[in-house]
Chains A and B, each alone.
Chain A
Amino acid sequence: MLEVRNLHSFYGDAHVLHGVSLEVNSGEVVALLGRNGMGKTTLIRSIMRLAQPQVREGSLLWNGEELMHLTPHEVASRRIGLVPQGRRLFPSLSVVEHLTMLKPASAKHGWTVSRVLDMFPRLAERKNHRGNQLSGGERQMLAVGRALMIDPELILMDEPSEGLAPVMVQHLETIIADLGRTGLAILLVEQNLYSALAVANRFYVLETGKVVHAATAAEIKENQASLLRFLGVH
């Protein structure tokens, strides 16, 4: 499980995360909600140990191990996958290369190219297309497939529904729910509240760099109004 404790992250002098603490247990889909600029992406980038933001305080425990001193690829090698904001596919790599770059095509265990392509038949039809020749939905599928190829126990998904047509958003929700049922933990950053409600077991609301509200799906089912209030929807 992932335990984020009292995380303080900075971009230069700008103090973006003010002591964020949260947990993601194995097999859980946890949604991180909040409006633009509240620090959701900063949190994801902090967990991945990317060069920016700078984390000046706090701890990131993953199955008991401190991630703070690792490089991003070392974090990934601890089986934490990333579906970044804006997909960030590699324009000069084909669909298949996005998958095989992380694991040889001959690999038989865990997630394989054929298993990912079975899950996303649209990608199978376009396997020799390059990352920048795909539609928005296909790009998102490939970003998810790329994250799966490291056989993750946890996937960090940063606004996967952003810019997708409603039918694609629904498809994505099905995929996230299916992955959650396989025992994969998912930390899902979402602006689309209803998309998050459809898949998540637990919710955190982030506001100006702090967790201001935490709730389980059951609690929200009983009292959706409180969540909406924290999100400023009502």
Chain B
Amino acid sequence: MTLAGINLLQILNGLTFAALLFIVASGFTLIFGLLRIVNLAHGALYLFGGYIGYTVSSVTSSFTAGIFASIIAVALLGLLIDQGLVRFVRGFVLREVLLTLGVAYVLDDIALVIWGGDTFSVDVPTLLQGAVHIGGVFYPKYRLFVLGLGIVVFLALWLLLNRTRLGALIRAGVDDPEMAEAVGVNIRRVFLGTSMLGASLAGLGGTIGGAFLTLYPTADWEILVFSLAIVIIGGSGSLVGAAVGALLVGMLDTVGQVLFPQFAYFVIFGPMAAILAFRPMGLFGRAT
């Protein structure tokens, strides 16, 4: 069932990698779309979440505890960054970008001090260890779990955004923050909630990804570059765009590494440039 090196295994690898990328990039796109901030610290939040998830799950021997700890800790970290720093430069795009870039370096160094330069892997629970037989290949259960989780996160976010009042407030804020505030929405609170939600998704991604991509210094920049590509391809602020972008990037990366390992990044950024040439706002982006 090989097609020039591509087989079911590669496709599953691509899909599960895409699911992880989606979890991280959905947080990125939420923040990008509503707060108009290109949060370059998003990768660092991912890595921090991973380390926290690793530590807590090691200490408590509970993967679930690790997941919740990383979600809560990184949400609070996101709140701190937003209220303690980004708030003061809101509206100045270049300053925001530079500030979040600085925050990313600082977080990296703090992580280096706390966890050192070793590579860690989050332990997965027994239930998710081992492999299952599917379509003629044995495939790790854990990676299938990640795929399922990606789908669950997509559905949950979709319902939140499209079927709840909070979601309507977030969409109104994406459309026209000034008018949302003028007709009576406490837009700052919506911004705050969204930036915490976006950060918590990075934290969740860190623990989930830390179990199969492993955690090490600079892992955050790799994830950040992928997230940027996904949001640019999908269109900022679009959940469906992030899902399609993640699928595209996840598949291209996996297939690209098999077929043209020497062009691994080109395989992602070549198509990205091509998409931008025809749709400058991304596949699902809207001019604002």
**Is B213 part of the binding interface, using a Cβ–Cβ cutoff of 8 Å?**
no
Known: A100-B165, A101-B165, A104-B165. A90 touches B172 (CB 8 A): yes
**Is A102 part of the binding interface, using a Cβ–Cβ cutoff of 8 Å?**
yes
Please indicate the chain A residues that have their CB under 8 angstroms from the CB of B286 in the complex.
91
**Is B180 part of the binding interface, using a Cβ–Cβ cutoff of 8 Å?**
yes
Contact B175 A150 (CB under 8 A): no
**Is A73 part of the binding interface, using a Cβ–Cβ cutoff of 8 Å?**
yes
**Is B109 part of the binding interface, using a Cβ–Cβ cutoff of 8 Å?**
no
**Is A217 part of the binding interface, using a Cβ–Cβ cutoff of 8 Å?**
no
**Is B174 part of the binding interface, using a Cβ–Cβ cutoff of 8 Å?**
yes
Contact B172 A72 (CB under 8 A): no
Contact B165 A50 (CB under 8 A): no
Known: A73-B186, A73-B187, A90-B176. A97 touches B181 (CB 8 A): no
Query: For the complex, what is the distance from the CA of A102 to the CA of B171, rounded to whole Å?
Result: 13
Query: Does more than half of chain A's interface fall in helix, strand or loop, or is it mixed?
Result: loop
The interface on chain B, measured as residues whose beta carbon lies within 8 A of the other chain's beta carbons, has a size of 20
Please indicate the chain B residues that have their CB under 8 angstroms from the CB of A147 in the complex.
183
Query: For the complex, what is the distance from the CA of A102 to the CA of B286, rounded to whole Å?
Result: 25
Beta-carbon contacts of B151-188 to A below 8 Å, as 1s and 0s? 00000000000000100110110111011111111111
Please indicate the chain A residues that have their CB under 8 angstroms from the CB of B186 in the complex.
73
Query: For the complex, what is the distance from the CA of A73 to the CA of B187, rounded to whole Å?
Result: 8
Partner of A88 from B168, B171, B176 at Cβ < 8 Å: B176
Query: For the complex, what is the distance from the CA of A72 to the CA of B185, rounded to whole Å?
Result: 9
**Is A92 part of the binding interface, using a Cβ–Cβ cutoff of 8 Å?**
yes
A-B CB contacts (within 8 Å), total count:
61
Please indicate the chain B residues that have their CB under 8 angstroms from the CB of A102 in the complex.
183-185
**Is A14 part of the binding interface, using a Cβ–Cβ cutoff of 8 Å?**
no
Query: For the complex, what is the distance from the CA of A147 to the CA of B176, rounded to whole Å?
Result: 16
**Is A71 part of the binding interface, using a Cβ–Cβ cutoff of 8 Å?**
yes
Known: A92-B174, A93-B172, A101-B172. A71 touches B181 (CB 8 A): yes
Give, as a whole number of angstroms, the nearest-CB distance from B150 to chain A.
Answer: 24
For A45, give the chain B residue with the smallest CB separation.
B182
Contact A97 B168 (CB under 8 A): yes
Contact A51 B178 (CB under 8 A): yes
Contact A90 B187 (CB under 8 A): no
Beta-carbon contacts of B276-288 to A below 8 Å, as 1s and 0s? 0000000000100
Contact A101 B179 (CB under 8 A): no
Known: A73-B186, A73-B187, A150-B184. A88 touches B179 (CB 8 A): yes
Known: A51-B178, A104-B165. A93 touches B183 (CB 8 A): no
Please indicate the chain B residues that have their CB under 8 angstroms from the CB of A93 in the complex.
168, 171-172, 175
Partner of B184 from A76, A92, A100 at Cβ < 8 Å: A76
Please indicate the chain B residues that have their CB under 8 angstroms from the CB of A84 in the complex.
179, 182
For B182, give the chain A residue with the smallest CB separation.
A72
Query: For the complex, what is the distance from the CA of A72 to the CA of B27, rounded to whole Å?
Result: 28
Counting from the closest, the 8 A-B pairs by CB-CB distance are A76-B184, A90-B175, A101-B168, A97-B168, A88-B179, A72-B181, A90-B172, A72-B182
- A93-B175, A101-B168 known; 10 other A-B pairs, CB under 8 Å? A72-B178, A84-B179, A88-B176, A90-B172, A90-B180, A92-B172, A92-B174, A97-B168, A101-B185, A150-B183
